[in-house]
Amino acid sequence: MCFSENAWQIFNQSITDYHIHDDVDAEMPIHFEKDTLEHILYSKNWIDTVQWHLEDIIRDENIHPEEALKLKRRIDSSNQKRTDIVENLDFWFYQKYLTTVQKPDAKINTETPAWAVDRLSILALKVYHMHQEAIRTSATEEHRAACQAKLSVLQEQKKDLCVSIDELLQDIENGNIKMKMYKQMKMYNDESLNPILYQNAKK
C-alpha cells in the first residue's frame, strides 16, 4: 500500500473513533506504538478532528462570552499542537531520507511532506462531514444534492493530493527533491515574541 492510502485509512480510523462518542473531551484511543509513523498520523488527525468540532461549537451565536474565550484559548493551544506534530512528522521524514544522495540539480518543493499530509488530514474531515450532510434525512433534497456534488469534488481532490504526496516522497527518495525542514516560528503563543504578552508581563 502506498503511503498516502495508508495515511488516509489511519485518518479515517481516527475520525470514526472520535464519532463513537462525538465528544471534544474524549481521550484519544491508543492503537499504535508511540513514536511510530502510524501513531504520529493518528495523533495528527485526532487533534484536527477535535479542533474541527471546537470550531463548530465556538460559532454558536448563543454561546456565553466567557465560554467562547475559553474555547478560543483552547483552539489556540490546539493550533500549536497541530504545528508541533506536523514538525514531528517532518522530522520522521527527514530521518528516513537522511542518507539519500541528492542530485546536483535537486529542487526544493514549495511545502514539506508533512504539511502536504496536514492538508490530507483536513481533507479526510471534509469528506466525512460532507458525506454526513449528503445523507442527512432532516435536510432538503436540494441540500443533499448540493452536498453530494461538493463531495464528488472533494473525492477528486483527495485522489489528486494522494498522487502528489506519493510523487513528492518518490522524488525525495530518488534525490530529485531536497528534504529540508523549517520550523513555523509561530509568534502569537510565544511570550517573548507577542507584544501583547511581553508588555503585559512587565506590568
Domain span at 124 = 3-202
* Residue 186 pLDDT greater than 70, yes or no: no
Give the separation between CA 4 and CA 155, rounded to whole angstroms. 14
Give the separation between CA 45 and CA 181, rounded to whole angstroms. 21
Q: pLDDT tens digits, residue range 152-183?
A: 999 999 999 999 999 999 999 999 999 988 77
Number of domains in the chain: 1
- Give the residue from 133, 42, 51, 125 showing the smallest Cα distance to 88: 42
* Residue 184 pLDDT greater than 80, yes or no: no
